[in-house]
């Protein structure tokens, strides 16, 4: 990942003396030109010079926030609540935690980390990591309540391959308010979204939004449109994937109810959906589907698999286990569909 080291002018700029300088409140001249792409802000105070600095870190006095930015064009903002933390590490890295509404409070202990470089281009909002209120994303919808204890980590490079310079592909990690991805004003608390891999498409990434204790994860590359894991519009939902996505609209989702689980570890573009419907992005919060379980575990397969459970119904199970297939249990409550090496088993629970 792009990480710009602090240049050294003399012995006073080694790591130990630099930390001592910051903690003892020495004048900005003491660090001088060493901070051209490195900025730290704590509780409303910039700790390094801002003149000519290519990195930006922002906090608000009295909120105890910490923002750290490394890299040319990196931006980290932690405000809108108590104890928010933002880390942007890489060229054009972007991390927003809490809320960007002037004077906002109550969006507490949100964590946003964008580690990797972002390339301008695309038709959406800038790429990065966003934890907290919907307004952290350009064009996002402000929540009806506050969004706290959310964590968004985007580990990898982002950048659409074509578009207009100066904007982005609306990619990254989104945790907290449903408005972060434009699906309403429902608040989200204790949500976690993570991406590990390059995101090179449009509207891609991990989203855990619109409810409490949701989790979304991804480990792989995304190059299409509207791809990735989505957990939310309910509580305690989890969507996990360990594969690459190149086909538009593919991903894994656990939405529209509580405690839905969908998991993918299979060939590229394999999908799983639990609860709500199989068209996850943009699904209304009124969709039902509780305690559904969808699963794909075909790590040695060569063709995409699918597992769909719920889809407006409750307590359904669909599994594809070490065999190529498409399992569906979504036409009534209490259905199961198991696709295995020993055959396909379907019925009612």
Hey, what's the torsion of the CAs at 114, 116, 117, 122, to 10 degrees? -60
Maximum Cα interatomic distance, the chain, rounded to a whole number of Å: 74
Q: What is the pLDDT of residue 168?
A: 72
Integer Cα distance of 199 and 106 in angstroms? 31
Would you state the structure tokens that stand for residue 286, as one six-digit string? Answer: 């009124």
Quote the CA–CA distance of 233 and 111 in Å, as a whole number: 21
Q: Which DSSP symbol is given to 24?
A: H
Q: Strand 205-209 vs strand 172-176: parallel, antiparallel, or unpaired? A: parallel
Q: Distance between CA atoms of 250 and 148, rounded to whole angstroms?
A: 29
Minimal CA–CA distance to 240: which of 280, 279, 193? 193
Q: Return d(Cα 24, Cα 12) in angstroms, integer.
A: 13
Give the helix/strand (H/E) hosting 20: helix 15-24
The domain locations on the chain are 53-348
> What pLDDT does 8 receive?
33
Residues of the chain with pLDDT under 70: 1-35, 121-122, 161-167, 277-288
Specify the pLDDT at position 167: 58
pLDDT for the residue 49:
93
Full 3-state SS string of 172-195: EEEEECHHHHCCCCCCCECCEEEE
pLDDT at 17: 46
HSE-CB for 14 with a 13 A CA cutoff: 2
Distance CA 302, CA 9 (A): 54
What pLDDT is recorded for position 112? 98
CA distances from 325 to 9, 96, 258, 289 (A): 62, 41, 27, 23
Q: Which two tokens stand for residue 28?
A: 């900005």
């Amino acid at each position: 990942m792009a990480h710009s080291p602090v240049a050294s002018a003399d012995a006073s700029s080694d790591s130990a003396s630099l930390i001592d300088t910051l903690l003892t409140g020495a004048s900005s001249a003491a660090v001088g030109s060493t901070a051209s792409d490195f900025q730290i802000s704590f509780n409303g105070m910039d700790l390094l010079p801002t003149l000519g600095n290519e990195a930006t870190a922002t906090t608000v006095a009295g909120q105890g926030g910490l923002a750290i930015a490394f890299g040319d064009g990196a931006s980290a903002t932690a405000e809108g609540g108590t104890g928010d933390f933002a880390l942007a590490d890489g060229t054009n890295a972007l991390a927003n935690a809490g809320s960007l509404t002037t004077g906002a409070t109550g969006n507490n202990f949100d964590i946003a980390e964008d580690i990797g470089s972002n390339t301008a281009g695309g038709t959406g909002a800038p790429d990065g990591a966003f934890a907290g209120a919907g307004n952290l994303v350009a064009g996002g919808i402000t929540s009806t309540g506050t969004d706290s204890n959310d964590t968004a980590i985007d580990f990898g490079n982002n950048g659409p391959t074509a578009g207009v310079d100066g904007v982005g592909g609306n990619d990254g990690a989104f945790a907290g308010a449903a408005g972060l991805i434009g699906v309403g004003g429902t608040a989200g608390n204790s949500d976690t979204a993570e991406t590990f891999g390059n995101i090179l498409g449009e509207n891609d990434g991990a989203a855990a939004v619109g409810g409490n204790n949701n989790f979304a994860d991804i480990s792989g590359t995304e190059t299409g449109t509207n791809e990735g894991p989505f957990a939310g519009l309910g509580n305690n939902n989890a969507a996990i994937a360990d594969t690459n996505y190149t086909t538009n609209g593919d991903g894994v989702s656990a939405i529209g109810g509580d405690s839905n689980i969908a998991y993918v570890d299979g060939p590229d573009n394999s999908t799983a959906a639990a609860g709500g419907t199989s068209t996850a992005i943009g699904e209304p919060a009124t969709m039902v589907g509780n305690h559904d379980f969808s699963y794909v575990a075909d790590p040695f397969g060569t063709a995409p698999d699918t597992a769909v459970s719920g889809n407006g119904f409750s307590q359904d199970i669909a599994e594809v286990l070490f065999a190529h297939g498409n399992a569906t249990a979504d036409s009534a409550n209490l259905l199961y569909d198991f696709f295995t090496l020993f055959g396909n088993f379907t019925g009612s629970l």
